[in-house]
Amino acid sequence: MAAVKSVKIDGENIHIFNSVIYIFESQSGYTLELDLIVSEVTVRKYKQEQTLIIEIELEDGRIINSIMHLKTLPGGLPQLNLFCDLGDIDEYEDFERVDENSSWFPNVEEGITLEEIRKVEMPNENISLKLNLPIDQVEWLKKQKRASLNEMVKEFISEYWKKLE
C-alpha cells in the first residue's frame, strides 16, 4: 500500500498529522484521492481555494505532481481532501482502491486528537468581549496596547485554568 511521506501545497511544505492516498473508482472513472489531517491554521489558509498545485512524496521515493481540487470536510478533525481525475491508473497499482460499495474506507482521523494537533500549531482567533467594569479599570484598559492586552488575557486564563485543575 502506498504511503505519503510529505506534501507541498503551492511549493510550501505542510505539516501532516495523518494521511491516506487511494484511488476512488466510480462509473465516471478513476480519481486519485489524498485525505490529510492538518492543523486548523492550514485549513484556514487553503479552504477558499478550489485548485492547488500539489507535490506528494511517497515513502518509496516516488513523487506525484498534480493540480488537484480541494474539498474541506466539516466536523471532526481539521482535514483537507485533495483529488484529481486519472486517465491511466497503471502507475498506481499499489494504491488501495475504493468505491462507494467498498466495505473498507480509509479513516484518516484514527489515532489523532485535536489536542495533539494544537500542541504543534495553535490557531489564534479574534474575540470581542463586553465587560462591565469600574471606570478606572476601563480607562486603564483603553490606554493599553492590543498586544499587551492579548498577552495579559492569555496569562490570566492560563493561571485561572491552573487553579481549576
* pLDDT tens-digit series, residues 72-87: 877 789 999 999 999 8
Question: Which one is predicted more confidently, 33 or 1?
Answer: 33
- pTM over cut 0.95: no
What letter would DSSP give residue 95? S
Q: In the prediction, which pLDDT does 105 show? A: 75
- The closest of 8, 10, 5 to 50, measured between CA atoms, is 10
Q: In the prediction, which pLDDT does 42 show? A: 95
Mean pLDDT of 49-54: 94
35: cell is 485525505
Cα–Cα distance for residue pair 52/163, rounded to 1 Å: 46
17: cell is 498529522
pLDDT of 110-153, one tens digit each?
Answer: 889 999 999 999 999 999 989 999 999 999 999 999 999 999 99
User: Is pLDDT of 41 > 90?
Assistant: yes
